[in-house]
Amino acid sequence: MQPPASQPIGFWSIRAGEAIRTRIRAALQEIDVTQSEWWVLHQLSRGPDGVDRTTVVDTVGPNDTPAVIESTIETAIAKGWIHAEGGRLRLSAVGTERFEAAVEVQKVLQDERMQGISVEDYETTITVLQRTIVNVGGDAWHW
């Protein structure tokens, strides 16, 4: 294999993203939460008095598609995880329990990903990826 400096960042960023998403989805599936449900629950956890539905879709829609997020919201409402009141969404007690279970899964997964990686190396990696995105005209923003 070529030395790291000679290898394409696009190749490795795609491989890393695929591996991480596959692992996250499998771990969340064990607690009956999809990745898009996690995204929605996480956003709603940040606004205990409710979050505007459009804000949720606009914020996490780029992680997949706005249509997937809209469908996820409807599914979470049907499961009783979310209360919808006048365009605002709020976690129910059951939704809060699902969110808290998913937080624990995410903590375990982050610890797993960080094995053998220092915080400084992780921060450098994120900074390099963000700079690369900006350098090619992309938007290096994350909620």
Query: Which tens digits make up the pLDDT trace of 34-52?
Result: 999 999 999 999 998 999 9
Q: Where are the strands (E) in 1-143, listed by range? A: 51-52, 82-85, 88-91
Backbone angles phi and psi of 46, in degrees to 5: -85, -10
For the chain, what percent of residues have pLDDT higher than 70? 100
Tell me which DSSP letter residue 80 carries: T
Tell me which DSSP letter residue 118 carries: -
Q: What is the CATH number of domain 38-96?
A: 1.10.10.10
Residue 3 has what pLDDT?
85
pLDDT at 141 > cutoff 80:
no
State mean pLDDT over 58-80: 95
Residue 6 has what pLDDT?
82
Crossing angle of helices 53-60 and 35-45, rounded to 10°: 130
Confidence of residue 74 (pLDDT cuts 50, 70, 90): very high
Confidence of residue 83 (pLDDT cuts 50, 70, 90): very high
What is the value of pTM for the model shown?
0.88
State mean pLDDT over 120-143: 91
Domain ranges of the chain: 38-96
Q: How many residues are recorded in the chain?
A: 143
87: left (phi over 0), alpha (psi -120 to 50) or beta: left
Residue 2 has what pLDDT?
83
Residue 131 has what pLDDT?
94
